[in-house]
Amino acid sequence: MPHLIERVFGAPHWPTVFLTYAAGTAGGMAAQALHLPLPMLLGSLLAVGAASVGGLRPLGHLPQAPQKIRMIFVPIIGIAIGGAARPEILQEAPHWVPSLLVLCLFIPIVHYLGYRAIRATGRTDAVTAFYGAAPGGLVETVQLGEEAGADVQMLAMLQFLRLILTIVLVPVAFSWMEGHAVGSAGGAAVAGHELKLTDVAILTIAAVLGAVIGVQLKLPAGQALGPILLSAAAHMAGWTESVPPGAMIAAAQVVIGTSLGVRFAGMPKQRILEALQLSLMNGVISIGGAAAVAFLIAPLVGEPARGVFLAFAPGGLVEMGLIALSLKMSILYVTAHHLLRIILAVSFARGFGRRIG
């Protein structure tokens, strides 16, 4: 058994892993007590991120959270997002076409503007600036940039901070617009029926089989997208009307937030600050552009402006899906746009990256 665990999760210092998740849980509960937006996700991220940046070493080790544990919990969010699917979604989907077409223009434009802005500072080379400005596909763009000769550490920080800033700023912006914290109940404002054994079996199959299929087919964000598709199919077929309980979704948020926070462990503080400044500048372009587009096209697609904004914001598919769950928005509308965003961002980076240098 120990050899199997080591083969799956590597060989972290497990007492430190436990303390890291404990810190993430405490951060989430503190954020909930303070009525912060999306508390379990943001609280765990900020608590563990602060410990990582501060160089804290519980039991002599930097904070640790094996990324494969995150992969176990991501499908829970996937089946919750898929749980929003209803047969009437087929009538709504054609109305999404205008915003999907706008997204096809939006992604290369904000990528190019972000690249030019980062490059103009003179703080990084052209290749790193180009791949660092990509508004999606964190893993794929870092890999493409590494192959093209980019500064991998700076590139990874630019992409990671893009994701972090969007996750932090979008719920805060919504809370400001709404006048109260969004997702204050752990970000799990999902309506579902009482779970029966058949519901548990169907959702478990959708989570496990969907994750396997998503990874094997190399779908974008496959660990989430596979469960989303199978869960949506099961709900549209009428096999189940249930979703994971709120406590399980809150636990998944703590795991996801903690796994994001530990990425700062061991990074030089000066480089983090430098990357943060560049990411903030890029974020103004991409998030500001998303807000402008939202107010322009919302009347055309029959969605509220905040829903369109969330669909265009350059965060992660899973994380933006969580915000959509919290705000009871058209979750599948948001998810469809983020799937296309990832595909477009990676395709544009791959297609034009070789011309940079």
Q: Which of 126-130, 200-204, 223-227 shows the lowest mean pLDDT across its residues?
A: 223-227
Confidence of residue 102 (pLDDT cuts 50, 70, 90): very high
Give the number of other CB atoms < 10 A from CB of residue 219: 19
Residues 6+ apart with CB under 8 A from 258: 20, 21, 23, 24, 44, 45, 48, 65
Q: Which of 100-104, 187-191, 305-309 shows the lowest mean pLDDT across its residues?
A: 187-191
Q: What are the φ/ψ torsions at residue 258 (nearest 5 degrees)?
A: -65, -45
The pLDDT, as a whole number, for residue 203 is 95
Confidence of residue 27 (pLDDT cuts 50, 70, 90): very high
pLDDT, one tens digit per residue, over 300-324 is: 888 888 889 999 999 888 888 888 8
In order of 11, 69, 71, 144, 340, the CA distances from 8 in angstroms are 9, 9, 11, 26, 31
- Answer whether 260's CB lies under 8 Å from 49's CB: yes
pLDDT at residue 97 greater than cutoff 80: yes
DSSP summary character for residue 195 = P
In order of 31, 36, 41, 57, 337, the CA distances from 25 in angstroms are 10, 14, 9, 18, 31
What is the DSSP annotation of 5-47?
A: HHHHH----HHHHHHHHHHHHHHHHHHHHTT-SSHHHHHHHHH
Mean pLDDT for the stretch of residues 82-105: 88
Distance (Å, whole) CA 182 – CA 151: 37
DSSP-based three-state secondary structure for 196: coil
pLDDT at residue 18 greater than cutoff 60: yes
Within its chain, how far is the Cα of 255 from the centroid?
13
The pLDDT, as a whole number, for residue 187 is 43
Instruction: Scan for tokens 């700076």, then name that residue.
Output: 154
Distance (Å, whole) CA 226 – CA 210: 4
The pLDDT, as a whole number, for residue 24 is 96
Distance (Å, whole) CA 127 – CA 354: 9
